[in-house]
Amino acid sequence: MTSSRIERVHAREVFDSRGKPTVEVEVTCAGARPGRAMVPSGASTGRFEAVELRDRDDSRLDGLGVRRAVANVCTEIASALIGLDADDQAEIDRRLIELDGTPQKSRLGANAILGTSLAVAYASAEACGVSPVVRFREIWSSVVGHVSNVPVESGHVGNVPHELGKRMLLPLPMVNMISGGLHAGRQLEFQDFLILPVGATSYSQAFEWIVMVYRRLGRVLTERGHEGILIGDEGGYGPKLRTNEEAIELVVAAIEAAGLKPGSDVAIGLDVASTHFFEEGRYRLPSVSSSPLTSEQMVDLLDRWVTLYPIISLEDPLAEDDWDGWRLITERLGSRVQLIGDDLFVTNVARLQEGIERGVANSVLIKVNQIGTLSETLATLKLALDNGYWPVVSARSGETEDAMIADLVVATGAGQLKVGSVARSERLAKYNQLLRLEESLAGDASYLGGAIFRRNPGSRFSS
């Protein structure tokens, strides 16, 4: 007979999309098949993220092994969890946090803790005989109280941001076309040049548009003598370009070459990832200016580009410590574009709360391994929605074939997903899972797409 009582907790070292070791955890409930989760890993990490435990044993895999984290799962964590109820995600996560006992999960390792937390959710799904998306839906309902099962029609929504989190939604994908920064050998200063197919009316149409823009971009790059085939960590092209603006112009050209309208069909997003070129209070952008920029000059620059190009979303435009710069950009651009805090908020309730109080940003990136448990991730997501911030569920640059975030973003109705590009199967694992969910959930999940940005009349968001 199956029950949700945890009988076995096991882990092993496996490898991620950059060939770096990572943790895989299996949790098994009585009489059921194991639930399994793999842990992703960032390259452009924020200083306030939960801590990945690595072996630091230089004699093996450059010290990157995760055998200590694996051992922590198989010993301490297993002893603490065996016998508990896998259906009680909040209690499991509370125990994990308590067992670790450090603010950034550095003792047992956020990788050990997150792998376990997610594997418990999968184990509970197995024990209950439901799919992961249904199980995530139940967990999300217990976090936010009652959630509706009635899908919405995108033509009949009032204040769209208020619809987020209430129903299952296929997400608007935000997809990397060109990579720079730490994901592509610093060929460009900015990290991601992304597209958002805001005019598409279904997830599958959105995805087809993205694929066509990606294919056309490869062609445009090659025609102009750039590397139209070499790709970065997330599958975006990694050409050597002179400036960030050139990358934006190439993406606009590719949107047009795909027969789509820049702005109304497909808008542009940038992950500036500015923390990684912020030094001594200034932004080092040699392709823009020989002397490093002040926060105000950085905001001026981005303001100009938002005016010149069909940009609808800016992630980490200012650094993780530059609260004053963030405040300024929010005042200047907060009603015109989505301003996402990634390194700034690190999926952490306390940091997001501080941002809300200081009136900075209007959106938060949601990455499970920045915080380390499913329950804490959902708490940050809820705080964002309660305060009118757009959540964007995101993968990491180091990923695996684990497609968990596809189920998570649909179940929570968060509205947007950022996974990287449409090449490399660790990315496609998520996009393809969304195609399956679109089909299997048919009448139960809606697609709002770009309509989620309709908030401020008269602004770019109202179009």
Instruction: Write the DSSP assignment of 83-110 as a string of letters.
Output: TSBTT-HHHHHHHHHHHH-STT-TTT-H
Quick one: which of 36, 396, 427, 460 contacts ligand 2PG (CB under 6 A)?
Answer: 396
**Does residue 271 touch Mg ion according to CB under 5 A?**
yes
Residues 209-228 contacting ligand 2PG, CB under 6 A: none
**What does the block give as tokens for 208?**
């087809």
Show the site string, 301-320: x = touches Mg ion by CB under 5 A, - = not. Answer: --------------x-----
**Does residue 399 touch Mg ion according to CB under 5 A?**
no
Work out what residue 71 binds among Mg ion, ligand 2PG, none; the CB cut-off runs from 5 to 8 Å by kind.
Answer: none
**Does residue 342 touch Mg ion according to CB under 5 A?**
yes
234 is catalytic: yes
Is 436 exposed, middle or buried (CB count within 10 Å of its CB: 0-12, 13-18, 19+)? middle
Task: Please give the DSSP secondary-structure letter assigned to residue 274.
Answer: G
Of 411, 453, 426, the C-alpha closest to 170 is 411
Residues with Cβ within 8 Å of residue 156, at least 6 apart in sequence: none
Helix axes 110-128, 374-386, angle to 10 degrees: 90
Residues 17-76 contacting ligand 2PG, CB under 6 A: 42-45
Work out what residue 375 binds among Mg ion, ligand 2PG, none; the CB cut-off runs from 5 to 8 Å by kind.
Answer: none
* 3-class SS of residue 220: helix
Of 42, 53, 2, the C-alpha closest to 271 is 42
Distance CA 96, CA 82 (A): 12
With respect to ligand 2PG, which residue has the nearer C-beta, 342 or 376? 342
Distance CA 398, CA 43 (A): 7
Please pick, among 52, 126, 163, 234, the residue that the annotation labels catalytic: 234
Please pick, among 52, 126, 189, 367, the residue that the annotation labels catalytic: 367
Q: How far is CA 206 from CA 70, 302, 431, 442, in A?
A: 39, 26, 11, 16
**Does residue 424 touch ligand 2PG according to CB under 6 A?**
no
Q: Minimum CB separation from ligand 2PG for residue 369, in Å?
A: 9
Distance CA 229, CA 236 (A): 10
**Does residue 273 touch ligand 2PG according to CB under 6 A?**
yes
**Does residue 393 touch ligand 2PG according to CB under 6 A?**
no
**Does residue 426 touch ligand 2PG according to CB under 6 A?**
no
With respect to ligand 2PG, which residue has the nearer C-beta, 46 or 262? 46
With respect to ligand 2PG, which residue has the nearer C-beta, 43 or 253? 43
Q: Minimum CB separation from ligand 2PG for residue 39, in Å?
A: 12
Q: Minimum CB separation from Mg ion for residue 362, in Å?
A: 16
**Does residue 252 touch ligand 2PG according to CB under 6 A?**
no
Give the residue ranges of DSSP H helices in 238-294.
Answer: 244-257
**Does residue 100 touch Mg ion according to CB under 5 A?**
no
With respect to ligand 2PG, which residue has the nearer C-beta, 77 or 361? 361
Helix axes 295-308, 323-333, angle to 10 degrees: 30
Of 322, 256, 265, 332, the C-alpha closest to 293 is 322
**Does residue 189 touch ligand 2PG according to CB under 6 A?**
no
Of 79, 106, 111, the C-alpha closest to 95 is 79
Residue ranges binding Mg ion (CB under 5 A) = 271, 315, 342
Q: Which residues are catalytic?
A: 234, 367
Give residues in contact with ligand 2PG (CB under 6 A): 42-45, 191-192, 234, 271, 273, 342, 365, 394, 396-397
